[in-house]
Structure formats: C-alpha cells, structure tokens
Amino acid sequence: MSRKPVKAAVRTLQKTRTAARGALLWGYEQRLAREVGSHGKLPRHLGLILDGNRRFARAAGMQREVGHSFGAEKAHEVLQWCLELGIPAATIWVLSTDNASRDPEEIAHILKLLEQEARKLATDPRIHSNGVRVRAIGQHDQFPPTVLDALRELEQKTAHYQGMRLNIAVGYGGREEIVDAVKAHLQTQAQAGASLSEVAAALQPEHISAHLYTADTPDPDFIIRTSGEIRLSGFMLWQSVYSEYYFCDVYWPGFRRVDFLRALRDFQGRDRRFGK
C-alpha cells in the first residue's frame, strides 16, 4: 500500500486541528474582549516594558536585529489595541540607558529602527485621526542627528493633539530621570533666588514629580513586562510606587492580543489600595 494517501491524510488532519485551535483561540479572544470592554475599568496610563526581542530571534534561529524589527512591528499592533479600547495614555520602554553597553552594531540598528518608526508614526493616519500626542522621553544627547530630527518632527506634528498620550521611553533610565528632575528643580529655585538650604528645607515629593519626563501624565496604573522577567529594571521608578504589575512569559514580538486582554482582565480584578 502506498504511503502517499496516508501522508496526505495526516497533513489534512494537522491542518484541520490547526484551524480548529485557531477558531477556539479567536472565540476565546472575542469573549475576553467583551469582558474587558464591558467592565469599564481600564488603566489611565499603561506602562509597557518591551522585553525579549533578542531571545525571540534566537529561539527562532534568526539574527538578533530581526527580533528588534519584529518588536517594532508589534509596538504598532499594541498601539492599535490601546486605541480600540480608549486607553488614555501609554509609555513604551524601547531602549534603556543600560543598553548603551551592548554591541555598537546592535545599538546602531535599534537607533535606525527608531528613526524609521518615528518617521512612520509622523505620517500614520491613526495618529492624526485619533489625535495622539507622541513624545520621546529619556536622555538623547548622544543620539545621531538624523534620529533626533525624526523624533523632533514627530513631536512637533503631534504637539497640539489632545487625544491619547504616547510616550516612547528611549535612552531612558529611572534613576537618570529622578536625577534630571532634581537638577531641574534646583535650577528653577536658584533662578528664583532661593538658597540651597531654603530649597532643602522646603523640598516635597511633588516638587520632584513636577519635573519628571511624564509630569503632565498621570502615574501609571498598570505596568506590563513581557519575556518572563519579574523586575522593573528601573522603569518609572518614581511614578510606579502604586502601580499594579503584570509579568507575561511570552517574548515581546510574540505578544498577542489575547495576552494583552488577559493582562487587562487581571488588572480589572484587582483591588487597588494605594498603600492603605
């Protein structure tokens, strides 16, 4: 008996099973979307730590640069999900100050991607039709001029919008942000004629908060980190004091809408006590 009919039957069965699993997942995703949408409780400010690009590429047998490219495409998808749900603000962490010690070729690729994605966002119809205000936060002094130009153009084109706030944390570190905020406060007080002892005596937490990169955005209610790492790594250290956290095992490029909805459903089931 020929094996060809058997192999064909096996392939047909595998395709049928794959289609069935896909249909089940789609149905589950739709149910999750209804649950999350009907609950009404969504983060006012969502923080996203985009982790696992390199490991995703390695697991798939690809070069690490491909992982970063897939990660950039995933960020566009997640932006769409946020817009569909009406989440008012999101901060995505793309590149940390600690990443500066990586291979220069990898950093150059990430910065080139950043430039390309900034230019793409500057003309993205979703950004303009939804009035999304985009800003790059972090320390950018060492970025190439072309990257700075692209970020500046994106910020200028969206500066007047009053819709969703999208912060792109790049060249960002939580400790560096706090140091920058303290410096800014000291400079402001010095220009007003206050002495160092007077500034120290009057210093309050809100004085630091007023000079953070995200000073005009509510503190994040909810922070999601992908890749299975259970730590913040310095992400929004000051602002996250009362944030809820969610750690997802999937690498960032593989982050699915169903994973996103599960995280939000988990957030909706929590009782936030703000330290009380």
Q: What is the pLDDT of residue 10?
A: 43
Q: What is the pLDDT along the chain (276 residues), one digit of tens a residue?
A: 455 554 554 454 455 555 556 677 788 999 999 999 888 899 999 999 999 999 999 999 999 999 999 999 999 999 999 999 999 999 999 999 988 888 999 999 999 999 999 999 999 999 999 999 999 999 999 999 999 999 999 999 999 999 999 999 999 999 999 999 999 999 999 999 999 999 999 999 999 999 999 999 999 999 999 999 999 999 999 999 999 999 999 999 999 999 999 999 999 999 888 776
53 assigned ligand-binding residue: yes
232 assigned ligand-binding residue: yes
pTM: 0.89
Q: What is the pLDDT of residue 6?
A: 45
C-alpha closest to that of 268 among 111, 42, 83, 16: 42
State the catalytic residue, choosing from 51, 124, 221, 259. Answer: 51
98 assigned ligand-binding residue: yes
Q: What is the pLDDT of residue 21?
A: 67
Half-sphere exposure of 45 (CA within 13 A, CB side): 17
DSSP state letters, the chain: --SHHHHHHHHHHHHHHHHHHHHHHHHHHHHHHHHHHHH----SEEEEE---HHHHHHHTT--HHHHHHHHHHHHHHHHHHHHHHT--EEEEEEEEGGGGGS-HHHHHHHHHHHHHHHHHHHT-HHHHHTT-EEEEES--TTS-HHHHHHHHHHHHHHTT--S-EEEEEEEE-HHHHHHHHHHHHHHHHHHTT--HHHHHHH--HHHHHTTSTTTTSPPPSEEEE-TT--S-TTTTTTGGGG-EEEE-SS-GGG--HHHHHHHHHHHHT----TT-
Q: What is the pLDDT of residue 198?
A: 97
Whole-number Å distance between alpha carbons of 240 and 12? 50
Q: CB–CB of 17/241 below 8 Å?
A: no
- Known catalytic membership, residue 266: no
- Known catalytic membership, residue 216: no
Q: What is the pLDDT of residue 9?
A: 42
55 assigned ligand-binding residue: yes
Domain ranges of the chain: 46-268
The distance between the two most distant Cα atoms of the chain, rounded to a whole number of Å, is 96
Whole-number Å distance between alpha carbons of 219 and 236? 9
What residues are paired with 93 via a beta bridge?
49, 169
What residues are paired with 166 via a beta bridge?
90, 134
126 assigned ligand-binding residue: no
State the catalytic residue, choosing from 99, 149, 180, 266. Answer: 99
CATH 3.40.1180.10 fits 46-268, yes or no: yes
Q: What is the pLDDT of residue 271?
A: 87
Q: What is the pLDDT of residue 3?
A: 57
Whole-number Å distance between alpha carbons of 171 and 125? 27
